[in-house]
Structure 1
Amino acid sequence: MDDLLSKVLDLQSAWTASNTEEMQKRGVCIRQELPTLLRGQSAALAEALGVPIGSLAIEGRDGTGLKTEVPWVRVCDPTMSPSATTGWYVVYLFSGTGDRVYLSLNQGTTVWTGGDFKARKVGDLRARVGWARPLLTEQMASRTDLCDEIRLDARTPLGRGYEPGNVVAIEYSREALPPQERLLTDLGYMLSLLQTVYAAERLAPHIPGDPAPEVLEAERSAAAAAGRRGRHASRPGRSGQGFRLTSAERQAIERRSVSVASAFFAAQGWKVQDVGTRESFDLLLKRGDERLHVEVKGTTSAGHDVILTRAEVEKQRKYYPANALVVVHSIYLDRAGDAPVATGGTLHCTSPWQVADEDLSVISYAYRTALGRDEGAEIQSSLRVLKKGPRQASPALQASTDAQ
């Protein structure tokens, strides 16, 4: 194994995007020889990860067509990381200069746009690292050879993009590669860390840096309605980088957010009426001659994005300035029992709430085809829109509080 790592590192100095003879040799090592060697250790590696042998994925990639500067070989549970662009995994990353290779607990750092790979936001990757690293404190206490940061010396953005995704890594110098027995021991150790991250991820209602579950669900539903097939299949409850919510979980979050918002306004002397089942907003507030029409959104995420229907947007524009947006974010969702339980949350209120076009992102359209136009109808616009914000506009009422 050390010989194969050394061979790849030696070939790194000859890197080019073209499929030269050197790159062909590198590709054989990355896509065939190293994965084959590791598959011979599947029983021990699966045990370290805490999965059946059949639930262990080992793959290597060096670029399809154009050759990537930083090739990799990764090990993971494919139900938790169906592709290298999603989820967590343990991966060998070879530096662009060929002087070192890292064994890294890393994550999907790019997203496939349909034509190429686009780097995820560095802030989102670091937020996910900040969530994962504290989970491993006890397991990492006995090791003094772990790296919080990796340096791949890559010239390409794709090669450099792996660096902020690193949770923890072991660095091997080309001049001092350990023997195979030590390399496999280290790999087993890193897989035990990955097992801990997977266990925590299964219970986490939301991981910082992930898209809001509501946004994922809206995008998935829009894609399904349009007849779009996903590029990669994933296990139930997941969509890309993050979890989707079940119907029971959505209802629990909705009940919690409306309850928190109702208590917030009642404490200010408003008479609160829940009208969500019959109106395109959630709460009607009365206080003397005052009226306030409130849209309430609850989420387990940080609340940067929420989903609005076209009817909700139109209603709130009609009621402005006697309106408000309440986002109850960072709700804790307990999935351990028979039924999900939502608690906590931080309330942010914006009132009056002016829904600006620049804060809306269209998720999908209802398009009137030629058949429909023959009937004299016009093109219909957005089915769903994404509210990005909320904006900083609340001269009459603005609040942000933690719900108990």
Structure 2
Amino acid sequence: MKDLLCKVLDLQPRWTSENTEDMQVRGVSIRQELPGLLRGHEAALAAALGTTLDNLGVEGRDGTGLKTEIPWVRVCGREESPSATTGWYVVYLFSASGRRVYLSLNQGTTIWTGGVFKARRPEDLRARVGWALPLLAEEMATRQDLLPSMQLDATRPLGRGYGPGNVAAIAYDRDNLPESAVLLADLLFMTRLLGALYRAERLAPHIPGDPAPEVLEAEQSAATIAGRRTPGGARPRRSGQGFLLTAAERKAIELHSVHMATEHFKAQGWSVKDVGARESFDLLLRRGEEWCRAEVKGTTSDGTDVILTRAEVEKQRDCYPHNALLVVHSIKLDRTGPAPTTSGGVLHCISPWAVEEADLTVISYAYRTPLGQPASREASPTLAVPEQRQRAEAPGTR
């Protein structure tokens, strides 16, 4: 392994996007020789990851067509990280200067929304790193050589993009590379950290930096209804950043948030009637001559985005200013038992609630085609599923 790492590093200063003879040699090492060497230890890697041999992924890339400045070789779970653009993985990253190679616990920089891959913002990547670090703190404390950042000497945006996604890295200088046995021991250590992240991800209803599960579900459902093809075929419950909510989990969150909202309004002297099963709002409130129609949204995320239907938006606009939006965010969801359970949550309320057009984002459209209609017909967002981006800050209603 040591010799192969040196070979790639020595070629890095001769990088060009063209497929020169040097880049062809580098490509063979990255795509064939290094992955092949690592697959020779696949049993140990699978055990460290806590997965089966079938799910263990080992691959290297140096660019399709144009050659990339920073080639890589990664180890991952195929299900958890079906491509290098999504999920967590352990990866060798070779600096552009050839001075060092990093072994990094890193992550994909995009997220599949159901229709397209969206680039994650650097702050979202750092938020995910912030979620991961406490989970790994005890085991990471056994090492003194783990780095929070990397110096890849990259001149291209793609190469610079690895930095915000780094959870921890080990740096190997070209002139002081350890022996292969040490390199393998380090790889197994980092792979154990990766396995711990995968296990935590399975239980996490939401990871900071990810879209709210409800928003992601709406986007993917809209794409499915529209007939969009998805990577790998049918839409999986796993989406590269954890698991989507099940019907039972969504129901548990809904009941929890409505209960908290009901208690909140009762404490302010309102009589509360739950009408969510038959109306396009959740709670009908009365207090003397006053009345109010409240929409309740519960989420395991930070509450930045919630999903509204067109009917909900129209109803709230019709009854303004006798209306309210109540968001219960950061709900804790326990998936370990036979049935999901909920606890906690932070309650915020806006009342009166003016639903501003600027705060709505259309997720999908219903399009009236020219068939049987005048040719001048245009797209109509009649079935749009919007996101509400207005933060609720006022703690009560008026």
Cα distance in 1 for partners of 2:278, 2:294 equals 14
Cα distance in 2 for partners of 1:264, 1:152 equals 52
Do the aligned partners of residues 328 and 126 (structure 1) sit closer, same or farther apart at CA in structure 2, a change above 3 Å counting?
A: same
Match of 1:293 in 2: 293
Query: Does structure 1 retain, via aligned residues, the 8 Å contact 2:86–2:241?
Result: yes
* Aligned-residue offset at 1:244: 1.0
Q: Does 1:313 align with 2:320?
A: no
Cα distance in 2 for partners of 1:117, 1:82 equals 13
CA deviation map 1:242-268 (0-9, x unaligned): 421111111000001101111111100
3-state DSSP of counterpart to 1:101: strand
Match of 1:324 in 2: 324
Query: Does structure 2 retain, via aligned residues, the 8 Å contact 1:362–1:382?
Result: no
Cα distance in 2 for partners of 1:187, 1:298 equals 41
Deviates more, 1:33-42 or 1:17-26: 17-26
3-state DSSP of counterpart to 1:143: coil
* Aligned-residue offset at 1:53: 1.5
Cα distance in 2 for partners of 1:241, 1:255 equals 25
Cα distance in 2 for partners of 1:8, 1:195 equals 28
Cα distance in 1 for partners of 2:292, 2:115 equals 46
Do the aligned partners of residues 382 and 27 (structure 1) sit closer, same or farther apart at CA in structure 2, a change above 3 Å counting?
A: farther
Query: Does structure 1 retain, via aligned residues, the 8 Å contact 2:101–2:173?
Result: yes
Query: Does structure 2 retain, via aligned residues, the 8 Å contact 1:31–1:59?
Result: yes
Match of 2:179 in 1: 179
Cα distance in 1 for partners of 2:62, 2:376 equals 54
* Aligned-residue offset at 1:75: 0.3
Q: Does 1:399 align with 2:389?
A: no
* Aligned-residue offset at 1:329: 0.5
3-state DSSP of counterpart to 1:365: coil
Cα distance in 1 for partners of 2:114, 2:53 equals 32
3-state DSSP of counterpart to 2:308: strand
TM-score by length of 1: 0.93
CA deviation map 1:329-350 (0-9, x unaligned): 1001111111111111111111
Name the Cα RMSD after superposition: 2.3
Match of 1:238 in 2: 238
Match of 2:91 in 1: 91
* Aligned-residue offset at 1:371: 2.2
Do the aligned partners of residues 12 and 232 (structure 1) sit closer, same or farther apart at CA in structure 2, a change above 3 Å counting?
A: farther
Do the aligned partners of residues 342 and 111 (structure 1) sit closer, same or farther apart at CA in structure 2, a change above 3 Å counting?
A: closer
Query: Does structure 1 retain, via aligned residues, the 8 Å contact 2:218–2:385?
Result: no
Match of 1:38 in 2: 38
Residue type of the partner of 2:182? Answer: R
Deviates more, 1:251-260 or 1:20-29: 20-29
Match of 2:370 in 1: 370
* Aligned-residue offset at 1:384: 3.1
Do the aligned partners of residues 235 and 59 (structure 1) sit closer, same or farther apart at CA in structure 2, a change above 3 Å counting?
A: farther
Do the aligned partners of residues 2 and 118 (structure 1) sit closer, same or farther apart at CA in structure 2, a change above 3 Å counting?
A: farther
Cα distance in 1 for partners of 2:377, 2:94 equals 58
Do the aligned partners of residues 276 and 306 (structure 1) sit closer, same or farther apart at CA in structure 2, a change above 3 Å counting?
A: same
Match of 2:189 in 1: 189
Cα distance in 1 for partners of 2:224, 2:113 equals 17
* Aligned-residue offset at 1:155: 0.9
Aligned counterparts, 1:92-171, within 5 A:
92-111=92-111, 119-171=119-171
Do the aligned partners of residues 219 and 240 (structure 1) sit closer, same or farther apart at CA in structure 2, a change above 3 Å counting?
A: farther
Q: Does 1:77 align with 2:73?
A: no
Unaligned residue ranges in structure 1 (runs of 5+): none
Cα distance in 1 for partners of 2:264, 2:319 equals 21
Query: Does structure 2 retain, via aligned residues, the 8 Å contact 1:213–1:244?
Result: yes
CA deviation map 1:302-328 (0-9, x unaligned): 111111111111111111111111111
Query: Does structure 2 retain, via aligned residues, the 8 Å contact 1:85–1:108?
Result: yes
* Aligned-residue offset at 1:389: 2.0
Deviates more, 1:289-298 or 1:365-374: 365-374
3-state DSSP of counterpart to 1:315: helix
Match of 1:222 in 2: 222
Query: Does structure 1 retain, via aligned residues, the 8 Å contact 2:13–2:98?
Result: yes
* Aligned-residue offset at 1:376: 12
**Number of matched pairs:** 396
Deviates more, 1:103-112 or 1:128-137: 103-112
Residue type of the partner of 2:395? Answer: A
3-state DSSP of counterpart to 1:371: coil
Residue type of the partner of 2:179? Answer: P
Cα distance in 1 for partners of 2:114, 2:306 equals 25
3-state DSSP of counterpart to 1:345: strand
Residue type of the partner of 1:314? Answer: E
